[in-house]
Amino acid sequence: MSGDLNANKILGAVLATAFVIVGVQQVTAAIYHTEAPKRMGYFVDAPEEAAGGAAEAVLPPDWGTVLPTADLAAGEAAFARCVACHTVTAGGANGTGPNLYGVLGRPVASHAGFAYSDAMIAHKAEAPTWTYDALDQFLTAPGRVVQGTKMSFAGIRDTQTRVNLIAWLRSQGSGGVAVPAPDPARQPGAAAAPAETPAETPAPGAEQAAAQAGGAAGSAPDTGPAARSTTQATPAAPPAATSGGHSAH
């Protein structure tokens, strides 16, 4: 008899424990209302190109075509994003960043009196001059092009804004840098032409963009497969992602 009673007590205790566990789960769920984030993982403010959007990133601007029609006033306005750190007048002081007078066509990391990062000095070996393309790539994603740069600036994703800005920078002491002739290989539609013949011979620009996208995948996880597998490994939504989900309402 007493054996039965003990068995009942034990069963009762087990059931009670089960109820408590379920109850706590319910209450917790009610208190901490969580929603699965629309996109798993941390949000990284990386340019779209990093996500492998090859379609738009393939061709660099055709400077010979875009510079003559660039909007200098819009370029000057875009420079508002730089003035916290840069002056652009002749002989202007170095601030957080170096003076940018005549930066187009200027050797990389060359402005007197400015202590460049090791990353920027190393970049000089690969790309010695701030050409149109070099500036354009750098301003798209400074930290991606010069990994470890101390220029804390996310970059300008919009190509037309960069074109306007670079055209305006040219007018600030770089007027001697010639506008190149229009390059048919960079004009819209040029990317489609090589695609007609099988993609064994990608355009040089495409190869470069692919290399950039590949290089970016490691440093700037966005929606690539690598990023997805990382987030799967840690399914618990981090607090940042959770609050992000709320603010997205």
d(CA 19, CA 7): 18
In Å, how far are 108, 124, 145, 146, 229 from 120, measured between CA atoms? Answer: 8, 6, 10, 6, 32
SS3 157: coil
* Residue numbers 148-187 binding ligand HEC by CB under 6 A: 149-153, 156
Residue 139 structure tokens:
């301003």
**Binding to ligand HEC by residue 50, rule CB under 6 A?**
no
Single residue of 139, 141, 203, 213 touching ligand HEC by CB under 6 A: 139
| Closest separation in Å from C-beta 91 to ligand HEC | 15
* Near ligand HEC by CB under 6 A: residue from 117, 171, 208, 231: 117
* Total residues in contact with ligand HEC, by rule CB under 6 A: 27
Residue 248 CB neighbours (<10 A): 10
* Region near ligand HEC per CB under 6 A, out of 6-14, 30-38, 94-102, 221-229: 94-102
Type of residue found at 118:
D
The angle subtended at Cα 67 by Cα 62 and Cα 69, nearest 5°, is 115
Residue number, 149 or 212, with CB nearest to ligand HEC: 149
For the bound state, the minimum distance from the C-beta of residue 200 to ligand HEC, rounded and expressed in Å, comes to: 37
Q: Which of 181, 153, 156 is nearest to 166 (CA)?
A: 156
CB of 116 to ligand HEC, least distance (A): 4
| Closer residue to ligand HEC, CB minimum distance, 39 or 111 | 111
User: Of 45, 39, 46, which Cα lies nearest the Cα of 242?
Assistant: 39
The span from the CA of 136 to the CA of 60, in Å, is: 8
Q: Is 134 in the site for ligand HEC (CB under 6 A)?
A: no
Closest distance to ligand HEC from the beta carbon of 42 (Å): 22
Q: Which of 74, 77, 85, 190 binds ligand HEC (CB under 6 A)?
A: 85
Pick between residue 57 and residue 103 the one whose CB is nearest to ligand HEC.
Answer: 103
Sole window of 13-21, 81-89, 191-199, 229-237 interacting with ligand HEC (rule: CB under 6 A): 81-89
Rg (CA), the chain: 27
For the purposes of burial, counting CB atoms within 10 Å of the CB of 53, is it exposed (0-12), middle (13-18) or buried (19 or more)?
middle
Angle at 80 between CA 67 and CA 126, to 5 degrees: 60
Q: Nearer to ligand HEC by C-beta: 37 or 98?
A: 98
Which residues of this protein are in contact with ligand HEC, per CB under 6 A?
Answer: 81-82, 84-86, 96-98, 100, 103, 108-111, 116-117, 119-120, 130, 135, 139, 149-153, 156
